[in-house]
Amino acid sequence: MKDWRWAFLGLVCFGLVLRIGAVERGRGQPTERISGSAGDVLEDDPVGRLKVFVYELPSKYNKKILQKDPRCLTHMFAAEIFMHRFLLSSPVRTLNPAEADWFYTPVYSTCDLTPNGLPLPFKSPRMMRSAIQLISSNWPYWNRTEGADHFFIVPHDFGACFHYLEEKAIERRILTLLQRATLVQTFGQKNHVCLKDGSITIPPYAPPQKMEAHLIPPHIPRSIFVYFRGLFYDVGNDPEGGYYARGARAAVWENFKDNPLFDISTEHPTTYYEDMQRAIFCLCPLGWAPWSPRLVEAVIFGCIPVIIADDIVLPFADAIPWEDIGVFVDEKDVPNLDTILTSIPPEVILRKQRLLANPSMKQAMLFPQPAQSGDAFHQILNGLARKLPHDKSVYLKAGEKVLNWTAGPVADLKPW
């Protein structure tokens, strides 16, 4: 590319930084209430609108697994553990299953880590099957609906398809026994066999205290135009290239590695969180899954998320106005990312920043300990409450069976 063009872009960037810096002074900063129904939904209070019964399971389905590997409390699927803890002491919990609207089965399906800490989902189908066998023989509620008034937290990459490689996940499909249940999962992509209608898409877990500890003084200007840290290629799992991130990350690198507006690299600096607070745009491209924790980090640090993941279904999309706070770029348009971002008018950028500064937006992305009103726990409950009352059709006739208990790969049928 010609030098004059970079000089021009540099000026545009500098201009933006100046104007944004002026408005942003003090990130106790002008915030904007979200108008319309989205904002109202975000601030809903679920208490009094639903009752949840928590099945008591032997600890081998949850606490024992966590004891074996406490790292499960900090990885990006940790929401399954915190949701359990939250529900145990939540005012929506009922100890009387006869009056429950929803039934929750606390199985830690992603707490099986490789030595270097990567969660594996291979035991999950057997665990789930075993837990469902247990609740369906000890209580009458599962058989009544075959799970249609039960919800499960399945935060792994492809939800209840239980495989981290997309091809394999698609082949497996959603575990048969979970096909009538409501699934609470991070995976969200339209028209995908691993996302069924009525699922609740949640943000991945990102540690609230750790992020808070890295907040920088509010007057520091956003002097980075575009920021990204992470993989562009996954040579180990995708040696030929093009499959990982459907080539979108590779395209970011190949087109913009030398562009001064793009602060992008595979190196993860210790100032990562601080850098996001110094950036205007944070790239959130798909990886193996459509989302990554960057999405949460961008919202928390007020960096406009640039979402590059065609057909993504974003967390709590019925409550969070993603179109207003983020920028959506089609995967095929990655080579034009520079032009797309530099042609966004400053007033549009400022409006997105004001919306991002709204504390309720950040709150909805987090699973804080202890829980706070409006946080991700409450958004999940709101999502469940909005599905009530259950349609009459979810209740089966006495003795009626819909699900096939022996379907699926033979290995999944082994006892757990």
Ligand X SMILES: *[C@@H]1O[C@H](CO)[C@@H](O)[C@H](O)[C@H]1NC(C)=O
Question: Per CB under 6 A, which of residues 121..150 are in contact with ligand X?
Answer: 136-137, 140, 143
Give me the residues paired with residue 151 across strands. 104, 182
Torsion of CA 307, 312, 315, 319, to 10 degrees: 90
391 Cα distance to chain centroid: 28
Q: Which stretch binds ligand X (CB under 6 A): 100-108, 211-219, 258-266, 399-407?
A: 399-407
Full DSSP string of 262-283 = EEEES---TTHHHHHHTEEEEE
Judged by CB under 6 A, which of 18, 47, 407, 413 binds ligand X? 407
Residue type, 15: G
Taking CA atoms, 371 is separated from 106, 308, 383, in Å, by: 18, 31, 17
Task: Residue count of the chain, please give it.
Answer: 416
The least CB distance from residue 151 to ligand X, in Å, is: 19
Task: State which residue, 347 or 400, has the beta carbon closest to ligand X.
Answer: 400
Task: State which residue, 143 or 342, has the beta carbon closest to ligand X.
Answer: 143
Number of residues counted as binding ligand X (CB under 6 A): 7
Which residue's structure tokens are 């009056």?
Answer: 99
Task: State which residue, 136 or 199, has the beta carbon closest to ligand X.
Answer: 136
The least CB distance from residue 167 to ligand X, in Å, is: 20
The least CB distance from residue 147 to ligand X, in Å, is: 12
Task: State which residue, 140 or 260, has the beta carbon closest to ligand X.
Answer: 140
Whether the Cβ atoms of residue 371 and residue 378 lie closer than 8 Å to each other: yes
The least CB distance from residue 139 to ligand X, in Å, is: 6
Task: State which residue, 270 or 406, has the beta carbon closest to ligand X.
Answer: 406
The least CB distance from residue 143 to ligand X, in Å, is: 4
Q: Using the rule CB under 6 A, is 404 a contact of ligand X?
A: yes
Give dist(CA 181, CA 343) in Å, integer. 45
The least CB distance from residue 63 to ligand X, in Å, is: 25
Which residue's structure tokens are 């057997």?
Answer: 126
Per CB under 6 A, residues contacting ligand X are 136-137, 140, 143, 404, 406-407
